[in-house]
Amino acid sequence: MKQFRLALTVIMVLAACSRCPAAVPASERAAADTLTRARLALKQKDTATAKALFETVYKEYPNVRQAPAALLSHAYLLVAAKDPNAEDEFRAVATRYPQSPEAPRAWLRVAYQRLSKKEADAATYLTLIVTQYPKAPAAQEALYRLARLDKRVDDLDNAQATLEAAVAAPGGTWQRSQALVHLGDVHISRFLKTKDEEELHKASNILLRIEDKFPKESRSIMQGRVDMARLYAFVGVPAGLHDPAKARAILVEGLEKWPDTYNTMEAHTLVGLAFNQEGKPQSAVDYFENVIKDFPKSDWNTMLLYQIGNLYRNMGNVAKANEAYGRCVALDAKTVWAESSRQALTSSGAAAQ
């Protein structure tokens, strides 16, 4: 009986050990430690140390799983330094480690490098990502970028199909919400070309309902509203569409729900301009003055002051116009709006302060 129990114990111990993970090789432990120190240095803004440590990982331990991550991070640092060798390093990540999680991201960066150089083969790399890594998050972004290239050459059918694929692809909600924004813009472009009310309806249905699908993507939500408002107030005029009151309502509703996004100042500017389009220039002036008061440090304020000056000038109030132009110059004399204000002051016989 004792022998039986001993044998059983030995079997159980052997079975348990067979399930234990193999020991991590020393080279991989060293690479992992170096990569951790590199990322810590980068977090502490010690770029030189980080760069050297990333280089140590992929040069001294090229066959460990940390190597492609280190090489990719090193390539990103080259981009930040505007080093022309960045593209070669991204390409090296993808070609040396094609099965790594970093490979599709590296190809995406190669595509971006080609796009920045206005090279025609950028689309080839984007297509490579979509076909070879269809389940990678980078594939979603590649689809989105391909669609933008299609739209740039007015290939709206391909742009629409590609954007629909981007919305359905696995990945983050940011890219999917941005794909919806551009999908709505495709329908706007079709409406402007064909004056087809169905295209207008599709654009509105997409751009004003982004919040239903992606309620946390406030930037995309407001961008969609800005695009629709711009269509109703300005862009749609050649197609017979002009409803500034509706444009203003779309923006005001959005600003009440999402008051602080990347598009906030653009939305406020369009609200004021819509007032003027409705024949309410004083309301536009009052609105712009409130925006300047609410956002005193905004870079948009010189433009708003210049617009206030123009509004007063169009109302025949030269004194108020010149006052606004003077405030524009005083706020930031180096902007194009300040230069336009100086010209307006000179033409009216007033001297810029």
pLDDT of residue 1: 53
The closest alpha carbon to 74, from 101, 57, 55, belongs to 55
Question: Is residue 200 scored above 60 in pLDDT?
Answer: yes
Average pLDDT, the chain: 92
pLDDT of residue 19: 47
pLDDT of residue 38: 95
pLDDT of residue 170: 83
| pTM recorded for the entire structure | 0.82
| Span 72-76, average pLDDT | 96
The string of pLDDT tens digits covering residues 183-192 is 999 999 999 9
Q: 5-19, 116-130, 224-238, 299-313: lowest mean pLDDT where?
A: 5-19
| Span 39-48, average pLDDT | 95
Question: Is residue 24 scored above 80 in pLDDT?
Answer: no
DSSP state of 237: G
The string of pLDDT tens digits covering residues 95-109 is 999 999 999 999 999
Using CA atoms, how far apart are residues 309 and 344, in angstroms rounded to an integer?
Answer: 9
Using CA atoms, how far apart are residues 188 and 197, in angstroms rounded to an integer?
Answer: 10
The string of pLDDT tens digits covering residues 137-149 is 999 999 999 999 9
The closest alpha carbon to 229, from 199, 207, 258, 213, belongs to 207
| Span 277-288, average pLDDT | 97
pLDDT of residue 171: 83
